A and B are shown apart, each in its own frame.
Chain A
Amino acid sequence: MFASDLDIGQLAVIEKVAESKLQNKLIEMGCFEGNTITKIFNSPLGDPSAFDINGYVLGLRKEEASLIHVILKK
C-alpha cells in the first residue's frame, strides 16, 4: 500500500519510494526504508495531507504520498 492510502492515525513503516524525480527528495525528507510514518491530518479541502515522519510533520499532496510504499505496522 501507499502512504496516500493511510487513514488518519495509522502507523506504517516505509518500504521504499518509487523511482521518480522526487525519489531522492522524499528520501531526504525522511522517507527512507524502515522509518515510521503516520498520517495525522487532512487539509480541510481533503488534500494535501500531513504526515508525522518519525517526529516531525511533512505536508504532501496525494501525488507525492502515492510514491511512498508503506507496510502497516500491527
Chain B
Amino acid sequence: MSDLRYESPETIEAAVALLASEGQMAKVFAGGTDLLVQMKEELIDEPALLVDIKKIAEVRQVKIEPHLVRIGSAVTGAELGENEPLKAIWPGVVEAMELIGSAQVQGRATIGGNLCNASPAADSVPALIAADATVIIAGPDGTREIPVTAFPTGPGGNVLASGEFVVTVNLPSRPPRAGDAYLRFIPRTEMDIAVVGTGVSLALNDDGTCAAARLALGAVGPTAVLVEAAAGIMVGNKLDDGVLDALANAASAACAPIDDKRGTIEFRTKVAGVLACRAASIAWQRAENN
C-alpha cells in the first residue's frame, strides 16, 4: 500500500469523479469490515484510492416516504436495528442486516457494503430480493436503477462499472396485511456465515389467502436466487400443510449449492426447504398482525 490515497467527498458527483479517475484502482470505502480485511489479507489488488462515501448525506439517511423507503448505502446494521419505523414496515430486511457479525461489526458494516461485497451467503441479499428492492447506482452517466436480483453477478462480483457506486437501496411501498422475514441456518448461535439464508415477503387478501409472495434463497448458489415457483404455490391459498410441502420442494429444487466446510450439497438443499417454510410462516404471522 505504498501510494494509497484517501478522499472523503461530500457530494455524489465528487465521489463519482474520484472513482472514475482511478477506475478499477479505486475502492468505495464505507464500513470497511470487508474491504480492510481483504486489503490486509491481500485478497484483492492493492487499491490506489479509497473513496470514503460517509460524508455524502444521501448515503447516510433512511427516508420513509409514502410509497418508497430509501436506505442509504452507508447506513449500518446497528442503525437499521434502532430504526423502529423501518422495523415495523420491513422487519425481515432489518433482521437480516442485524445478523451480520458482532456488535462491533454491526456498528460499521453497511447495507450497501453487504450487497457490493457479493458474498453468495450475504444475509441482506435474500431479504432484499424477497422485498423486491432496487439499487440506485450513481455513475459518470448519471443514475440508474436495477433490481437487487440483478446486482450480484457471482461470488465477489457485481454489476458496478468503473466510476459507479450504490447510493441507496429502495424498498417498495407495503400493502396492508403484508409481512416479511429472514431466517438463516448456522452451526453456531451467533457470529457465523449462513449455510442457507431464506427471505420471504408476502401480502394477504381480505379473505386471508395469499395475495402476493416472494421467496429468495442465499448460500445455495453463486448468487442469491428468487424462487420463481413460490408465488404460484402460495398466491390464492392459505398456508396449509400442502402449500408448505410444495413450498419446501420448490425451495429445494431452486438450490444449486456447493459442498464446502460449512455444509454439503445435500444438507443445504434439505435445509433450504425447511427454512423456506419457517420463514414463510413467520412472514405470514406478521402479515396477519399488520
Report if A and B associate in a common complex. no
